[in-house]
Structure 1
Amino acid sequence: MAESTDIPLGERAWSRPAQLVLGLATVGLLTGTGLFLTAVFLHVAPANSVSRQYRDEVDGLVYPEFEQNWKLFAPNPLQQNVSVDARVRTVADGGATRTHDWTGLTVQDIAAIRGNPAPSHVDQNLLRRAWDFYDGSHNPQDETLTSGHGKLAEEYLKRIALQRIGRTVDGERILEIEFRVTAATVPPPSWSGEAAPPAPKVRELPWWPVDDEDYRGLG
């Protein structure tokens, strides 16, 4: 009588090609994860020979989505409440342009967070970190670039706002966008005896042109 080759119920037999593919995929996933974690570690660790040698590669992977605002062993807590607003200039079919009112981007994030027991990381940090990225790569006096990442920071901030606002406002195509940022120092506790913080500082960026490339990949 021929020996039975039936597969026991509940078990699955993988062919050798399937096992090979699964093995390679596992190795690739673990390797990619290890390289990513190593790059992030080099980004936040104190400067050393390895981080200096591979600085361009590390920066290319980390910026802008995974940029950190703290250094290893030395966290940098927030000391200011920053509010980011944006407004756009549109053009109608007849060629007339119109400047619209400010839209509170940070206000939108706060509204999404408040009362939410599990707020999104995007609502909490995406816009804030985008502004930190821009602020760290531009001169606040004249908005000139101070870092090679400056243009990337501008594009990142612009695309975040345009994703929320869309391509048109009131049926009119967006031509330009402008940002206004208000920074208010976190007040000390009443029992500290420290002086009251200075008045909030308002910073307006120049108008940036908007074209189809700015919407590439946006949902």
Structure 2
Amino acid sequence: MDQQSSDQAPEGAPGAAPGATPGATPGGASPGAHGARSGAAAAPPRDPSAASGPGSDPDPGSDLGSDLDRTATADVRLGALSLPARIIVALTVGALTIYAAAHMVMVFLFVAPENHVTQEYGDGMREYIYPEFEQSWKLFAPNPLQRNVAVEVRAETRDGEGGRDTTDWISLTAMDVENIEHNPWPSHTAQNELRRAWDFYTGSHTETGGEAVGLRGELSEIYVHRIALLRLDQSGLVDVDDIVRIQLRSATTLVPAPEWRAEDLDTSTAYYELDWWVVTSRDLPSGVLAPDDDDQASGQASDQSSGGGQGEGQGEGGER
């Protein structure tokens, strides 16, 4: 009997008692009982995919998991907004989109050739475009500007003894350049007001005699001279209250040709002087706030006639 028991022992698990059930622990205890007693029973391995919740990354190294994380984060951020906040965001985005589309349409119609739409709504488009969104094609024209034009002024003033003094030529363009250089946000006035006023003047006067063409020519004369007085007042170089009359001129200098071109250009400065302009109280920076002064205007007109009249400037300078 002892020999049979020893021969049958190898049939079971090593060290198993005879007659023990497969998987039973020594002493006849079941695995569940043993786990209950020791509290150290090994749990089956968890499935990583099953443990992953919504929005978790099944593979930290995959792009799919990163996209899922970003989408979930965006959903959470948008979902955190209240209903009024969502409405405000939607209205803001919609308003900006509509404005951007309308702006592009206005600019396109402004630069497009004349058509029925521009004829019908041209005034409204110009009011929107000028001055902030003005479009100019001179930079890309076949013959862009190849000259520098400066506008200069001099003034005749009353001195303390009842006499008259004449200032040197003062460059109004240099004042604008000084306000523009090293300024990341230069004003539209400094960039374009004087230039546009001079273009307005030259475009509304004849090239030969310099005579005003219609009402636009007369308005351009008042406009450009009042800008000159305003700049003199802002600079503090001259007391505008003592100014009797002023004279404007343009100084035009051609831009030299590049080294690789054989053009021989005359880069000397050419001047074009306007007539003397008698200053009245309405021409001063106070403008329409100044009362009418007919006596002053008539007195200055007599001063002008005694000084040689409006033709003096052209006789002295002119285009040369």
Partners of 2:260 and 2:218 in 1: how far apart?
A: 44
Partner of 2:220: 153
Partner of 2:273: 204
Partner of 2:149: 82
Partners of 2:135 and 2:204 in 1: how far apart?
A: 13
Contact 1:139 1:146 in 2 (8 A): yes
Contact 1:46 1:71 in 2 (8 A): no
From 182, 185, 192, give the equivalent of 2:254. Answer: 185
Give the deviation of 1:42 after TM superposition. Answer: 7.1
Alignment: residue pair count: 194
- Residues 54-76 of structure 1 deviation map (CA, whole Å, 9 limit, x = unaligned): 88x68x969x968968469x757
TM-score (norm 2): 0.46
Give the deviation of 1:166 after TM superposition. Answer: 2.1
Give the deviation of 1:200 after TM superposition. Answer: 2.8
Partners of 1:136 and 1:67 in 2: how far apart?
A: 22
Partners of 1:49 and 1:43 in 2: how far apart?
A: 12
The equivalences for 1:36-47 within 5 A come to 45-47=112-114
Residue type of the alignment partner of 1:138: H
SS in 1 for 2:260: helix
Partners of 1:67 and 1:153 in 2: how far apart?
A: 23
Partner of 1:111: 178
Q: Closer, same or farther in 2 for the Cα pair 1:42/1:150, shift >3 Å?
A: farther
Contact 2:232 2:240 in 1 (8 A): no
Residue type of the alignment partner of 1:159: R
Gaps of 5+ in 1: 1-10, 14-25
Q: 1:124 and 2:191 equivalent?
A: yes
Gaps of 5+ in 2: 1-81, 85-94, 290-320
Q: 1:174 and 2:243 equivalent?
A: yes
Partners of 1:201 and 1:151 in 2: how far apart?
A: 25
SS in 1 for 2:253: strand
Partner of 1:143: 210
Contact 2:151 2:171 in 1 (8 A): yes
Give the deviation of 1:192 after TM superposition. Answer: 2.1
Partners of 2:180 and 2:276 in 1: how far apart?
A: 29
Contact 1:86 1:105 in 2 (8 A): yes
Partners of 1:157 and 1:139 in 2: how far apart?
A: 16
Partners of 1:147 and 1:41 in 2: how far apart?
A: 32
Higher radius of gyration, 1 or 2:
2
Contact 1:90 1:175 in 2 (8 A): yes
Give the deviation of 1:193 after TM superposition. Answer: 2.2
Residue type of the alignment partner of 1:150: G
Partner of 2:30: none
Q: Closer, same or farther in 2 for the Cα pair 1:124/1:100, shift >3 Å?
A: same
> Identity of aligned pairs, percent?
36
Q: Closer, same or farther in 2 for the Cα pair 1:170/1:217, shift >3 Å?
A: closer
RMSD between aligned alpha carbons?
Answer: 4.6
Partners of 1:41 and 1:159 in 2: how far apart?
A: 35
From 98, 111, 136, give the equivalent of 2:165. Answer: 98
SS in 2 for 1:199: coil
Contact 1:86 1:179 in 2 (8 A): yes
Q: Closer, same or farther in 2 for the Cα pair 1:152/1:171, shift >3 Å?
A: closer
From 258, 264, 281, give the equivalent of 1:195. Answer: 264
Task: Give the structure with the higher percent helix.
Answer: 2
Partners of 1:44 and 1:90 in 2: how far apart?
A: 46
